[in-house]
């Protein structure tokens, strides 16, 4: 859940109605307005959070105030908890938490908040190697994680053994890629990052990833995927099980 997202009220209602769902905080440092006054994270002309590219540059130049960043992260986690929702893990919008200068603060706040599980978005380059857009994103994330010295995670933080999702995005190839992913999972735990959703004007106004969400939703709820998941070789769990 994005604590400062436009669909907050609806998300809270759905989460409360589905107590078996594991809910994490999708930390948002790159879109819309923050919960607190954090000048080093916001454009003074608009009061809104800097977009990802600008945030990355500011973090590299050490122009992000660590105390302001930590305070905003804590506020986002606390807002979700205050809604009566158990927080199972942390990740972030556009993987901003993986940025050098951001990562260490996120880890510190996670430990302070008692949230044990943190997404590490590392995906092998061998998966769908001809999807150049996905390969570029994986390279950038790998470089960010390396510069941030993300691994090994500081104790007591943990993450999944594997991560899949960047190579799934794109819409038209999603169904085939998802089924191949499920058929080739490695032993251990794997986070499957997907973006199902219903597209409306509100979503289109704030996120360019629109039409593929409907494609993903249809495939993830299809009878074929349901049948694949009951074969017995895959167990669906939440992050609380790690």
* Per-residue pLDDT tens digits for 135-177: 999 999 999 999 999 999 999 999 999 999 999 987 789 999 9
Q: Report the candidate in 184, 128, 189, 143 with the shortest Cα–Cα distance to residue 163.
A: 189
* Per-residue pLDDT tens digits for 93-141: 999 999 999 999 999 999 999 999 999 999 999 998 999 999 999 999 9
Q: What is the pTM of this model?
A: 0.94
Distances 48 to 2, 27, 54, 87, 137 between C-alpha atoms, Å: 15, 15, 12, 25, 25
As given in the structure block, the two tokens for residue 198 are 């219903």
* Per-residue pLDDT tens digits for 185-206: 999 999 999 999 988 888 888 8
| Maximum CA extent, the chain | 55
DSSP string, 140-196: HHHHHHHHTT--SPPTT-B--SEEE-GGG-SSTTHHHHHHHHHHTPPSS-EEE----
Ramachandran area for residue 84 (φ above 0: left; ψ -120 to 50: alpha; else beta):
left
As given in the structure block, the two tokens for residue 239 are 């992050």
């Amino acid at each position: 859940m994005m604590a400062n997202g436009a669909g907050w009220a609806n998300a809270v209602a759905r989460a409360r109605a589905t107590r078996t769902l594991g809910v994490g905080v999708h930390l948002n440092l790159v879109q819309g307005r923050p919960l607190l006054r954090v000048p080093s994270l916001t454009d003074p002309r608009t009061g809104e959070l800097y977009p990802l590219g600008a945030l990355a540059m500011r973090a590299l130049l050490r122009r992000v105030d660590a105390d302001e960043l930590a305070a905003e992260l804590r506020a986002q986690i606390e807002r979700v908890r205050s809604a009566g929702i158990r927080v199972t893990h942390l990740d972030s919008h556009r993987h901003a938490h993986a940025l050098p200068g951001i990562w260490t603060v996120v880890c510190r706040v996670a430990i302070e908040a008692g949230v044990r599980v943190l997404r590490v978005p590392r995906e092998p380059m061998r998966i769908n190697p001809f999807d150049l857009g996905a390969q570029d994103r994986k390279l950038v994330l790998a470089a960010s994680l390396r510069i941030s010295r993300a691994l090994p995670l500081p104790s007591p933080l943990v993450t999944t053994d594997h991560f899949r999702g960047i190579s799934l995005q794109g819409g038209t190839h999603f169904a085939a890629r998802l089924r191949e992913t499920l058929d080739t999972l490695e032993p251990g735990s794997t986070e499957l990052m997907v973006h199902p959703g219903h597209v409306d004007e509100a979503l289109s106004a704030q996120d360019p990833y629109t039409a593929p969400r409907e494609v993903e939703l249809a495939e993830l709820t299809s009878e074929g995927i349901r049948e694949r998941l009951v074969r017995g070789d895959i167990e669906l769990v939440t992050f609380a099980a790690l």
